[in-house]
Amino acid sequence: MKNRKLPLILLLAACATSTVFADDRRGDDESNGYRDGIYNRLLALETQVQALTAEIFRHCSAEPQYGVDWHGCDKSGLDLSGADLMNSNLIGINLRGTNMTNAILYGANLDGADFTGADLSGAGMEGANVPNVIWSNTTCQDGSNSDVLGYCEISALYHPEL
C-alpha cells in the first residue's frame, strides 16, 4: 500500500465514526451497549492503523548511506552534511531546512523532493534525477539562491572530494 492512501484510511474511519454516533439517537441501554461495541471496534481499528503506519514508514529510520531508500520520508531540519546518498531513492522526500553541505547525491532520484530552505552548498549532484523538485530559498551547490532562477542548476563539472 502506498503511503498516500493513509490519510484516506483515516478520513474514512473518522467519517464512519461520526456517522455511527450521529445515527444512534435511541438513548437507551441497548444504544449504550451498541456504542460501547462500536467504540471497542474503533480502538481496534486505531491499533491496526498505527501498525500499518509504522510498517509503511519503517524504511525512514535507515541511516544515511549509499543507495538508501527514503522515499516519502521526512528528513527536514537534519544535518546531513557530507552524507553519502549516492544512487538513493529520495522520491518525495521532505528536506526542508536540511543542511546538506558537501552531501554526495550522484545518481539519486530526487523526483518531487522538497528542498525549501535547504543548504546544498558543495553537494555533488551529477546525474541526480530532479524533476518536480521544490526549490524555494534553497542554497544551491554553487552557493547561489534558488529563488534567483527558480531552481538550482546542477553542475556536471562539480565534484566534491569523496
Range with the largest mean pLDDT of 11-25, 92-106, 147-161? 92-106
CA dist 17 and 38 (Å) reads 8
* Confidence label for 157 from pLDDT (cuts 50, 70 and 90): very low
Q: Are residues 41 and 103 in the same domain?
A: no
On the question of pLDDT at 2 being above 50, the answer is no
Residues 98-125 have pLDDT tens digits of 999 999 999 999 999 999 999 999 999 9
Residues 62-94 have pLDDT tens digits of 999 999 999 999 999 999 999 999 999 999 999
Q: Look at the chain and report how many structural domains it folds into.
A: 2
* Residue 129 CB neighbour total at 10 angstroms: 16
CA dist 44 and 52 (Å) reads 12
Q: Are residues 77 and 145 in the same domain?
A: yes
Q: Are residues 86 and 102 in the same domain?
A: yes
Residues 42-57, mean pLDDT to the nearest whole number: 72
What letter does residue 60 receive in the DSSP assignment? G
Mean per-residue pLDDT over the chain, rounded: 81
Q: What is the pLDDT of residue 134?
A: 96
Q: Are residues 47 and 12 in the same domain?
A: yes
Q: Which amino acid is at 31?
A: S
In a domain, 29, yes or no: yes
On the question of pLDDT at 154 being above 70, the answer is yes
Expressed as residue numbers, the domain containing 122 is 60-152
